[in-house]
Amino acid sequence: MKYSNPVIKGFYPDPSVCKVEDTYYLVCSSFQYFPGVPLFESKDLVNWTQIGHCLTRASQVELGTVGSSGGVFAPTIRHNNGRFYMTTTNDTTRQNFYVWTDDIYGEWSEPVFVDQGGIDPDLYFEEDRAFFMSNGVDDNGIGGVVQCEIDIETGSKRSPSRSIWKGTGGRYLESPHLYKMNGRYYLMAAEGGTEYGHMVIYARGDAPSGPFESYPHNPVLTNRNLGGYELQGVGHGDLIEDHAGNWWMLHLGFRQIGRWLTFHHLGREVFLTPVTFDEDGWFTAGHNGTTLTSFETDRIPDTVIQQAPQPVTFGNTNWALDWCYLRHPAEENYALGTGKVTLKGTEISLDVPASPTFIGLRQRDFAAEIACEVNLTQGTGEAGITLYMDEQHHYDLAVRRNADGYAVIERLNIGDIKSVEHTVELGNSSQAKLIVRASHERYSFFVEADGKEVLLGTAQTRYLSSEVAGGFTGVLIGLYAQGEGSAAEFSNFKCEYAG
C-alpha cells in the first residue's frame, strides 16, 4: 500500500497517539482556539476522523484574552485501566494539568493540576504507578526532561521532580514521551525548535527514571538537511505499535509553499513514518532518517484506501467538531443551522486578543476555492470571510455598510499595515457572493453580484506564514461579523480542495 503524507492536513500540530483494542486515538494542540485539543480516531493509521475535543467547557481551560499561539500546548493521550487521560499545558497560565474520561465519545473531566513546571507533559503508567514528565527545570533547578511520580487520582506528587535526561545538546528540548518496549525503557523527545531545524531524538535505559543512554546516531528523524524538499520541520513525535506488531511514529511537520520558497502557512500537520527495530534494540525511522511525501509499505493492507478530501459545506460538517472559535465565544451571537448561519457582530474586531464573532475551520491544502453568500442584514458593520493567521496577519473579504449603501472590500492586515486595497460598490444591495481562490503562493479575492464575477485583487500567502507572522498556528478560513448591533446571514458555503 502507498500512502501520502500528511495523514491529517492543516493546522493540527503536536500529535500524540494511543491504541485501545483495534482503534487508534490521536490528539493535537489547539492554542487559543476553542473547543480545545481536537480528538481523532482511526482503524488503519492513514485515515483519521475527528470524533470530538477534550476541552469543551470554559471551566476546563482559561483562554480569556490569551494572544495567538498562547493557551493549550502539546497534549499527550494515554489509556490505562479502562480510562483515557489527556495531559497538556496552558502556557499562558503556566500550568500543567490532565483531564480524563471513561467514554472516549463523551465529556472529559474537570482539570487535575500537577505541581510541576515546564511544557509538553507526558504520562507513563506501570502497574499501579503513574509518572509525570515535562521539559523544564526540576526541584533543584536542573533543566532537562523532568519527572516525578504522581497520585493519578489527585495529581499530587509522590516524589520530587528530578531531571532525568538533558537530551543531545540541541536547543529547545521538548516533547518527552516514555515507553517500555522489549524490556527496556525508551525516552523520546525533540530538539532544534519547531521549525526548519526540528528533529526527533531518543535514549534508552533499564528503569523509568534512567539513567538513559542516547541513541548513537541521533537524531533518529529529521528533514533539516533536505534543502528544496517540500516537507520540513519534522519533529515532536509519538510512537505506536500497530495490530501486527509493527511500530510507527506520528509526528508533526509542515509543507512549504514551493521548493525554494521557505514559507509555510497551513500550520504544522500530522505525518506518519514507519519505525524499525534492529537486533540490538535500537530503532530507526523513515527513509534514512527522513520523512517522505509518500511511503510504499506492506505493513498496511492494499485494501486500505486513503481517502481524498471532500468539499466542505454547512450541511456536511459538524459545528462542534470541524469548526472552532477564537477563545471562549459569546454563544448568543451565533445561530448555526444546516444551511444558514447568522452571526451578530460586536465592537470586538479580529485585530485584538479577545473573542470576536468568528467561527472557522482549518485550511487543509494549498489549492482551494472558498465561496459563501453573505447578507449584511442589520447595522453598519461588516461581515465576510477572513483568512486568519493571527491578530496582526489576516486577509478579509467582506460586505460593509457605508454612507452610500453597501460595498465589498478586500482588506490586507500585515503587521502594522492595515489597508483596504479594493472596493466594489453594491449600491442598495446588502448581499453578495464572496469567493476566495487559493494557490500555493497567492489568494485571489472575487465578488459575484448581479451575475458578474469581479476580481478585487490578490495577496501573497507568505505574509500569513509562520516565517512572517511567527507563532505556532496556521491559517483558518473564518466567517466573521463585526460592528456593534450588526448581523449577517451566511449561506451556500463551500470549500473545495484541488489537491
For residue 51, with 0-12 CB atoms within 10 Å meaning exposed, 13-18 middle and 19 or more buried, which class applies?
Answer: middle
Average of per-residue pLDDT across 483-499: 94
| pLDDT confidence of residue 264 | 98
71-86 residue pLDDT tens: 999 999 999 999 999 9
Percent of the chain topping pLDDT 70: 100
8 A C-beta contact, residue 321 and residue 51: yes
List, in sequence order, every residue forming a beta bridge with 36; answer none if it has no partner. 55
Separation CA 324–CA 395 (nearest Å): 18
User: Would you say residue 414 has pLDDT above 80?
Assistant: yes
Indicate the helix (H) or strand (E) that contains 495: strand 487-497
Answer yes or no: is pLDDT of 330 > 80. yes
Q: Is there a catalytic annotation at residue 139?
A: no
| Contact (Cβ atoms closer than 8 angstroms) between residue 94 and residue 117 | yes
The reported pLDDT for the residue numbered 358 is: 98
CATH 2.115.10.20-classified regions of the chain? 2-296
Please give the average per-residue pLDDT across 191-196, as a whole number.
96
pLDDT in tens, 233-278: 999 999 999 999 999 999 999 999 999 999 999 999 999 999 999 9
d(CA 194, CA 268): 9
The pLDDT value recorded for residue 499 is 63
Q: For residue 246, how many other CB atoms are within 10 A of its CB?
A: 17
β-bridge pairing 357-362 and 129-137: unpaired
Catalytic residue among 14, 91, 238, 410: 14
Q: Which of 1, 40, 33, 36 is nearest to 270 (CA)?
A: 40
Residues 48-60: tens digit of each pLDDT: 999 999 999 999 9
Are 432 and 408 in contact, with CB atoms under 8 Å apart? yes
Dihedral over alpha carbons 105, 63, 379, 424 (to 10 degrees):
-90
Top pLDDT among 93 and 348 is at 348
Residue pair 99/111 in contact by the 8 Å Cβ criterion: yes
DSSP secondary structure, 44-109, as one string: SSSS-EEEEEEE-SGGG---TTPPTT-SEEEEEEEEETTEEEEEEEETTTTEEEEEEES-TTSPPP
pLDDT digits over 423-439, tens only?
999 999 999 999 999 99
Q: State pLDDT tens for residues 272-329.
A: 999 999 999 999 999 999 999 999 999 999 999 999 888 999 999 999 999 999 999 9
- DSSP string spanning 360-375? EEE--SSSEEEEEEEE
Helix segments in 320-423, DSSP class H: none
Separation between Cα atoms, residue 337 and residue 479, nearest integer Å:
14
- Beta strand segments in 379-416, E: 382-390, 393-402, 405-414
Question: For residue 345, what pLDDT is reported?
Answer: 97
Of 7, 57, 69, nearest to 32 by C-alpha is 69
**Measured on CA atoms in the order 49, 52, 54, 56, is the torsion positive or negative?**
positive
C-alpha cell at 97: 494539568
CA distances from residue 435 to 265, 309, 370, 448, 492 in whole angstroms, order as listed: 19, 20, 6, 8, 11
Kindly name the residue from 122, 138, 174, 269 that is annotated as catalytic: 174
CATH 2.60.120.200 residue ranges for the chain = 312-497
- Gap between the Cα atoms of 418 and 406, Å rounded: 21
Architecture of domain 2-296: 5 Propeller (2.115)
Say how many C-beta atoms besides its own lie within 10 A of residue 499's C-beta: 12
Between CA 302 and CA 283 the distance in angstroms is 25
Rounded alpha-carbon distances, angstroms, from residue 45 to 52, 277, 304: 18, 19, 10
- Give the whole-angstrom CA distance, residue 213 versus residue 186: 9
Architecture of domain 312-497: Sandwich (2.60)
Residue 452's pLDDT band, with cuts at 50, 70 and 90, is: confident
Active site residue 14: yes
- Model pTM greater than 0.85? yes
DSSP letter at 167 equals T
pLDDT of amino acid 403:
81
What are the strands of the beta sheet with 476-482, ordered from one edge? Answer: 357-362, 476-482, 382-390, 393-402, 405-414, 417-427
How many CA atoms does the CB half-sphere of 285 hold within 13 Å? 30
